[in-house]
Structure 1
Amino acid sequence: MNNTHLHLVVNHLPIIFPVVGIILLVIGIFTKTEVSKRNSYFIFILGALASIAAMATGEGAEEGVENLPGVAESLIETHEEAAELFAGLSYILGGISTVALFASFRNYIFSKIMPFTVVLFALATLFFAQKAGTTGGEIRHTEISSTGTSQIIGEDIKKESNHHDKE
């Protein structure tokens, strides 16, 4: 298994964990179940750890695909920037969740507002998760990128035109 494959295996986890965490946290808020809230905090922490893994494999994945036909360096750079921002927010979400988890166990007064703080920050983080995921997908899935599709179609038209000129 190379770094590109490993990146593809782990890169969805930092996006999936916050989605699951938000669902569980909202359930915990409405049912006033501390166990659900604590489990969601733990899931956000796992998401931050998964972001570390995704970022650690990203550079190797870049080296593995940057010379493939149809892969634009600009798409890789756009994804890298989006992923760095999302990872940073994911780390902060993990940190806030760690504080919320500790406050919940210690029954601190501010633990009552922590679920709302965490869910709002998690929703904001998910916005950037979508950007990182979409820009990553555009690198090899030209069907979701109008830019990538037009670049490849343009290259195909040039190749076909050159082929007809040779005949």
Structure 2
Amino acid sequence: MNDAHLHMVVNHFPIIGTIFGIGILIAGIFLNNGSVKNTAYILFIIAAIFGALSMGTGEGAEEMVEDFPNIGKAIIHEHEELAEKFALVLYATGIFALVSLVAAIKKFRLAKIFSFITLVLALIAGIISINVGTSGGEILHTEIREDNGTTVTSDTNSVENESNKMIDKK
């Protein structure tokens, strides 16, 4: 298993975990159910951990695919920039979810306020995650790009050379 494969394995959970966590936390707040809220907090913590794993495998994945035809460094750089912003908000959400979990377990007065702050952070993370997921998918799924898979590098000769190298290897 290489870095690109590891990145593909771990990069989906931060997005999906955040989205599910948002729904579960909203339900917990609406139902005033501590167990449901605690479940959401745990999901946010796990999503943050997987976010760190995803960031850790991203560089190796980049090295493997950046010279593929129709990919180029620009599209990967855009994904990397969005992922870094997402990771920071996700880490903050995970840390605040941990604080909220402890506050809920110890029945602190501020536990309810912490749950709303965690929800706001999670909503911000969820919004950013949409762009991160889309930009990551566009790297190899050229059919979902706005330019519909046309060359994204400024040097078309390098794309042609890479294509010829791949054909020669077969």
Q: TM-score, normalised by structure 2?
A: 0.86
Q: Please give the alpha-carbon distance, in whole angstroms, between the structure 1 residues aligned to 2:23 and 2:146.
A: 32
Amino acid at match of 2:46: L
d(CA) in 2 for partners of 1:32, 1:127? 25
Give secondary structure in 2 for the equivalent of 1:23: helix
CA deviation digits over 1:131-159, x for unaligned, max 9?
1111111111111112352327xx6xxx8
**Alignment correspondent of 2:145:** 145
Q: What corresponds to 2:109 in structure 1?
A: 109
Does the 8 A contact of 1:138 with 1:148 survive in 2?
Answer: no
- Identity in percent: 40
SS in 1 for 2:84: helix
The TM-score with structure 1 as length reference comes to 0.88
Deviating beyond 6 angstroms after TM superposition, the runs of 4 or more aligned structure 1 residues are none
Gaps of 5+ in 2: 161-170
1:116 and 1:15 mapped to 2: Cα distance? 20
Aligned residues: 154
Q: Partners in 2 of 1:93 and 1:20 — Cα distance?
A: 14
Q: Which has the larger radius of gyration?
A: 1
Q: How far apart are the structure 1 equivalents of 2:134 and 2:113?
A: 32
What is the match of residue 43 of structure 1?
43
Partner SS state of residue 38, structure 1: helix
Cα distance in 2 between the residues matched to 1:68 and 1:151:
11
Query: Which structure's residues are more often helix, by fraction?
Result: 1
5+ residue gaps in structure 1?
160-167
For 1:113, what is the secondary structure of its paired residue? Answer: helix
Instruction: Please give the alpha-carbon distance, in whole angstroms, between the structure 2 residues aligned to 1:15 and 1:35.
Output: 22
